[in-house]
C-alpha cells in the first residue's frame, strides 16, 4: 500500500507573504494623488483646446508650448509614477 505524501487540500507551494494594510494604504494614496494630478492636467488641456477653438490665444505656438510642457510632460511624469506604483503592488507592497 502506497503512502500519500501530500494530504488532501494542502498546497505544495510555499506560503506567500501577506500584503500589509499600511503598504496598500500608501499605494492607494499614491494612486489618488496621481489621479488628482491627471485631472488637473486634463483641465489644462481643455482650456488650451478651447482657446484654439475660439482663437482667443495670443499665438498658436504659445498654446502648443503649453500643451507640450504642461500637459505632455506632466502626463509622462504621472505615467512613470503609475508604473512605479504598480510595480510595488506586484511585489506584494514592498517599498
Counting residues of the chain whose pLDDT is more than 90, the rounded percentage is 0
For residues 38 and 73, is the Cβ–Cβ distance under 8 A? no
pLDDT digits (tens, 9 = 90+) for 38-81: 888 888 888 888 777 777 556 777 887 788 888 888 888 888 88
Distance, in Å, from the CA atom of 88 to the CA atom of 25, rounded to the nearest integer, reads 12
DSSP notation for 81-92: HHHHHHHHHHTT
CA angle 27, 31, 38 (to 5 degrees): 160
Taking the model in full, what pTM does it have?
Answer: 0.57
For residues 17 and 47, is the Cβ–Cβ distance under 8 A? no
Amino acid at each position: 500500500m502506497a503512502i500519500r505524501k501530500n494530504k488532501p487540500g494542502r498546497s505544495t507551494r510555499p506560503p506567500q507573504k501577506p500584503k500589509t494594510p499600511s503598504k496598500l494604504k500608501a499605494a492607494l494614496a499614491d494612486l489618488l494623488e496621481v489621479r488628482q494630478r491627471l485631472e488637473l492636467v486634463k483641465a489644462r488641456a481643455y482650456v488650451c483646446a478651447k482657446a484654439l477653438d475660439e482663437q482667443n490665444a495670443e499665438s498658436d505656438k504659445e498654446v502648443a508650448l503649453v500643451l507640450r510642457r504642461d500637459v505632455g510632460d506632466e502626463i509622462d511624469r504621472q505615467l512613470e509614477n503609475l508604473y512605479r506604483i504598480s510595480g510595488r503592488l506586484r511585489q506584494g507592497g514592498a517599498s
